[in-house]
Amino acid sequence: MRVKAQMAMVMNLDKCIGCHTCSVTCKQTWTNRPGLEYVYFNNVETKPGLGYPRRYEDQDQWKGGWTLDRKGRLQLRSGGRLRRLLSIFYNPDLPTIDDYGDPWTYDYQTVLNAPLGTPNPSAHSISALTGRDMEMKWGSNWDDDLAGGPGHAAADPDLAGLNDQVKLAFEQVFMFYLPRICEHCLNPSCVASCPSGAMYKREEDGIVLVDQDRCRGWRFCVSGCPYKKVYFNHRTGKAEKCTLCFPRIEAGQPTICSETCVGRLRYLGLFLYDADKVLAAAATPDPRDLYHAQLSVFLDPEDPGVKSEAARQGIPADWLDAARRSPVYALAVRHRVALPLHPEYRTLPMVWYIPPLSPVADVVHAAGYDDADPDQVFAAIEALRVPCEYLANLFTAGDPGPVRRVLRTLAAVRTLMRAGQLGLGVPDGLAESVGASEVDLADLYRLLAIATTPQPPRSSATATGGSTSTCPPGLSHDRRPVQAGLGAAAIPHSRAVRRPRRARGRGGTAAAPMRGPARPVPRLAAGNAAI
């Protein structure tokens, strides 16, 4: 058993209001520079919809992620080294600027300098890349709120095979928002695709980064990532990507998207996992089994054997404590209400999602039923306007079973809390019907309710990581009574700052070098001018 720690995120899609605050604050922090005009490390998509870049989920087209060869071994979908070598000066699998959306600004001077009396002066759009006049045709959130309606949404790759079940007429369609960042995968195909060895996974917390000094701009990471979360800076000629705000994480702060999220739907925390099991899990033959295979990689932080082995392998006590209190572990493993995005890409992604339940209550109300009756709520889950199969195409490689179980669990939490708050009797066997206890459901409610993220006091010890405290006050999963779930939780101070370790070379992923902070931390951030 090789115990590793991984920083991860869970997003509760029921709470996302599609305000794009996360995209804006991330953009202002990380990519507000020339060369990255079209780049959003964090973007928010409307589903059903095409995404950013459009149709990025269609791996038949983009050839991102992993597949299995005839012998059942993992191989990059983009092909072996020879194919990549032959296409090194022309990579045919790259999205164009038209797929991302040509970024534009406006000729504001036309309005500001218009002479008095000019009838209706208007600013026209100009390309932020070329400075020339342009006609807007696509953007990172062009199909926001189903703009374009059936014309765009119907081309969503996740709708394949479901079009007859999903109503795309404007007044009938269902939509929800899907915020996306880099998944900081356990088996990152971007790292394995890089011919220069510039991409790597940090040993201490699993954050995937680009070494700007080594990057040669071949862009195989861009095509190799199935989530299209590596971007090319056309000014510097280097690749850049979401850093999971590691300078903030190292200071015990949540990522900027978590801190500014209006819906308070982002949970941050640690997983412990067995690096020796990663390859076998990613090579699971049936894609529908990949969700369970990834679950089997995670280690129980309460297990005395895991704790002693982790300590023996050098994971500090405060990290183990943070893993024990981690809300992402509680949501994904203990309560099993969070699911990975597109596990069929075999990268073992580490940003998981709680699927949206909201339409269920609407469906029950619209039908004139009582949404306090679990039987009626459970029946409504089967009658969702977006079928469970659509959510399954997103989160479980097409297996609707886990999605149904999650939605039923969430419905049971609502029923239980409603019964408690209105003084109604709890329906017999409610918790047992979803394989949980009432204590489990109450704990889940505490995690999922309105989040609060009290700010830690700013002290020099916190800023330098020199404190012996384990995580910012108020951000702990097991602070009781906590009125609410946690926007960001259980973030330990970085070992990179307090206890530097040497690189160990290749780590536990298929072809992903795992590096420790052998170099000073600031150098790792060379590609990010905001630091």
> Which residues are at the interface with ligand SF4 (CB under 6 A)?
16-22, 44, 177, 179, 182-185, 188-190, 208, 225, 227, 229-230, 241, 261-263, 265, 347
Tokens of 395: 């989160």
N residues, the chain: 531
Rounded-to-integer distance, Cα 349 and Cα 402, Å: 17
8 Å CB contact between 24 and 262: no
Identify which of residues 179 and 517 has a Cβ nearer to ligand SF4 in the complex: 179
Identify which of residues 189 and 409 has a Cβ nearer to ligand SF4 in the complex: 189
Rounded-to-integer distance, Cα 387 and Cα 174, Å: 10
Identify which of residues 39 and 436 has a Cβ nearer to ligand SF4 in the complex: 39
In the complex, minimum distance from the CB of residue 65 to ligand SF4, in angstroms, rounded to a whole number: 7
Identify which of residues 185 and 489 has a Cβ nearer to ligand SF4 in the complex: 185
Identify which of residues 190 and 397 has a Cβ nearer to ligand SF4 in the complex: 190
In the complex, minimum distance from the CB of residue 181 to ligand SF4, in angstroms, rounded to a whole number: 8
For 156, phi and psi rounded to 5 degrees? -60, 120
In the complex, minimum distance from the CB of residue 183 to ligand SF4, in angstroms, rounded to a whole number: 4
Identify which of residues 283 and 436 has a Cβ nearer to ligand SF4 in the complex: 283
Question: DSSP class of residue 405?
Answer: H
Tokens of 182: 């880099």
In the complex, minimum distance from the CB of residue 119 to ligand SF4, in angstroms, rounded to a whole number: 38
In the complex, minimum distance from the CB of residue 489 to ligand SF4, in angstroms, rounded to a whole number: 16
In the complex, minimum distance from the CB of residue 494 to ligand SF4, in angstroms, rounded to a whole number: 19
In the complex, minimum distance from the CB of residue 33 to ligand SF4, in angstroms, rounded to a whole number: 19
In the complex, minimum distance from the CB of residue 39 to ligand SF4, in angstroms, rounded to a whole number: 13
In the complex, minimum distance from the CB of residue 260 to ligand SF4, in angstroms, rounded to a whole number: 6
Rounded-to-integer distance, Cα 143 and Cα 40, Å: 16
Q: How big is the chain by its Cα radius of gyration, in Å?
A: 23
In the complex, minimum distance from the CB of residue 338 to ligand SF4, in angstroms, rounded to a whole number: 15
Identify which of residues 229 and 495 has a Cβ nearer to ligand SF4 in the complex: 229
Tokens of 84: 């990549």
In the complex, minimum distance from the CB of residue 206 to ligand SF4, in angstroms, rounded to a whole number: 9
The three-class DSSP label of residue 440 is helix
**Helix, strand, coil % over all residues of the chain, rounded to 5:** 35, 15, 50
Identify which of residues 265 and 444 has a Cβ nearer to ligand SF4 in the complex: 265
Rounded-to-integer distance, Cα 407 and Cα 176, Å: 15
Tokens of 267: 């949970």
Angle between helix 400-422 and 388-395 (nearest 10): 110
Identify which of residues 190 and 377 has a Cβ nearer to ligand SF4 in the complex: 190
Rounded-to-integer distance, Cα 168 and Cα 170, Å: 6
8 Å CB contact between 36 and 241: no
Q: Is the dihedral of CA 146, 152, 154, 159 positive or negative?
A: negative
In the complex, minimum distance from the CB of residue 111 to ligand SF4, in angstroms, rounded to a whole number: 29
154 forms beta bridges with none
Identify which of residues 79 and 387 has a Cβ nearer to ligand SF4 in the complex: 79
Place of tokens 């026209």: 124
Identify which of residues 357 and 412 has a Cβ nearer to ligand SF4 in the complex: 357
In the complex, minimum distance from the CB of residue 346 to ligand SF4, in angstroms, rounded to a whole number: 10
Place of tokens 């870049």: 53
Of the candidates 177, 182, 172, the residue with the CA atom closest to the CA atom of residue 141: 177
- In 197-354 the beta strands, taken as DSSP E runs, fall at 199-202, 208-210, 230-233, 238-241, 266-274, 298-299, 339-340, 351-354
Rounded-to-integer distance, Cα 189 and Cα 260, Å: 30
Identify which of residues 19 and 114 has a Cβ nearer to ligand SF4 in the complex: 19
Identify which of residues 298 and 378 has a Cβ nearer to ligand SF4 in the complex: 298
The Cβ of residue 6 has, within 10 Å, a number of other Cβ atoms equal to: 25
Counting Cβ atoms within 10 Å, is residue 211 exposed (0-12), middle (13-18) or buried (19+)? buried
Q: What is the number of alpha carbons within 13 Å of residue 416 lying toward its C-beta?
A: 24
